[in-house]
Structure 1
Amino acid sequence: MASATAEIRTTLNAYGAALRTRSLEDVLAQYASDGVFMPPGVEFDFKEIVMAGEQWAFARTTAHGKKAWIEESRDEDALNQELFVMKHEDGKWKIARYAFNSMKPRL
């Protein structure tokens, strides 16, 4: 189980790096073949990783980064709490589901 949680951390950190560089190819590489993107955040603070058998796990994180508004050519700070459902597929942990919500106070 320890190696699985380390692999999950590696996958999620690679995902954050892909978001920072805005590499769609690298983002998609972190998802399972049937993964569902539900989106952002970049630097993860791991709150817990729970194994649910050999094929499934979930990770609860918070993330701080920049949200890019491509059409408006601007960035803004983002602070999210997140839930990743991970699936072990083809020998690697992949993101199967990703949900988040903002932790920024509303004005």
Structure 2
Amino acid sequence: MKLNIVRYALVLVIAMTFTNGALASDNKAEAEIQALLLEYQNALKSSNTPAIVALYATDGVQMPPGAPSAVGKTAIETSYNATFDAIGLDLVFHIDEIDLFNKKSALLRTHSTGTVTLHTDNDKQVPAGFKELFIVKKEKGVWRFSHYSFSEAPAS
């Protein structure tokens, strides 16, 4: 009986060790993905196209509403340059969900609120809100945007 209790305790300790290791790994990945989103938020605010493009995977895809998909870093750069010619963005992103598919890919669902500055209308500022969906993946050990799509949402 005493031997069975010891075996049970040993199995429990081993299981907890593996579970805690997985949780620590998940927490690290989530923190890295949150940091990626913060870098994106800061680069958007400063209209920094090169910094944004660096956050995308080599084969990254941006899928803006009402426009063709931008596939690859050159197309993504062109898309953001056109965006910043027309508007400025001052948004704060709020994470709604991070779903780790595995150690190298995840889904990131967010919403953002803030203001859009309309360069074509004397830099008029208007409230803005968006819903965003990112697929992120590790590329050379670093989390990058693989796919990104967004739509307008009521500003709250």
Q: TM-score under structure 1 normalisation?
A: 0.86
Q: Map of 1:6-45 to 2, 5 A cutoff?
A: 6-39=31-64, 42-45=91-94
Deviation at 1:69, TM superposition (A): 3.6
Partner of 1:97: 147
- Deviation string, structure 1 residues 64-106 (Cα, Å, up to 9, x no partner): 133344444534322011111001111111011111111128x
- Deviation string, structure 1 residues 15-65 (Cα, Å, up to 9, x no partner): 010000000011111111111122477311111100001111011111113
Q: CA RMSD of the aligned region, Å?
A: 1.8
Structure 2: segments with no counterpart, 5+ residues? 1-25, 65-88
Determine which structure has the larger strand proportion and give its number: 1
Q: Map of 1:63-82 to 2, 5 A cutoff?
A: 63-74=112-123, 75-82=125-132
Structure 1: segments with no counterpart, 5+ residues? none
Q: Based on CA coordinates, which of the two structures has the bigger radius of gyration?
A: 2
- Structure 1 pair 48/68, CA: closer, same or farther in 2 (3 Å)? same
Q: TM-score under structure 2 normalisation?
A: 0.61
Counterpart Cα distance in 2 of 1:17 and 1:101: 20
- Structure 1 pair 54/41, CA: closer, same or farther in 2 (3 Å)? farther
Equivalenced residue count is 105
Q: Which has the higher contact order (CA 8 A, sep 6+)?
A: 1
